[in-house]
Amino acid sequence: MVRPREFDRDEALERALRVFWAKGYASTSTEDLLAAMNIGRQSLYNAFGDKRRLYLEALERYQRESTAGHLARLNGEASPLDGIEALLLGLVADDDGERALGCMGVGAVSEFGADDMELAELRGKVGPKLSRRLVERIREGQASGEIDSGFDARQAAAFVLMTMQGIQLGARAGSDAKSLRTLARFAVDRFRAR
């Protein structure tokens, strides 16, 4: 007879996500995970497989949730430029500890590079959605005269995405919230029609 699971799988996954986000994959031990998730080793293996499977599931959740937040901020403003500004400013947490975590997705790329096919597949599930929507918002701003019409919308969207990564790396490196917000506003100002 199989014993019923004695823990909330979703809550355990969220706790594992927080550990991986803070420490990265290589620096997170199985013992770190067991302590954070408050489960036994066999429960971890039964519910999630191995450490790598758990990491991939946590990263997928992180990317899905963070991308949903990015899109909500980008779409939440009537003005495309205000939406881009909200997107960038939303990356900057007020809490020093939260801000220092940076982005788990950017951390994964930093740790594994671009050659890990499973991680590339995860990025491929969420990255294009945000990129497409950025292109659309930039074109909306160009049509309304708010954003410089001389920009190639795809290149401008790529610039926003790179700026996002820069802000998140800067946060992880210890930059303060004021400096990161100034950088975000500087980037947005480059888009304004002159």
Homologous superfamily (CATH) of 58-189 is Tetracycline Repressor, domain 2 (1.10.357.10)
Task: Please give the Cα distance from 169 to 106 (Å, whole number).
Answer: 7
DSSP-derived 3-state class of residue 147: strand
Query: Which segments in the chain show pLDDT lower than 70?
Result: 1-5
pLDDT value, residue 114: 87
For the chain, the structural domain boundaries read: 58-189
Inter-CA distances, 150 with 21, 39, 73, 82, 124, Å: 39, 56, 25, 19, 29
pLDDT value, residue 6: 73
pLDDT tens per residue across span 82-109: 999 999 999 999 999 999 999 999 999 9
pLDDT value, residue 7: 84
Task: Please give the Cα distance from 50 to 53 (Å, whole number).
Answer: 5
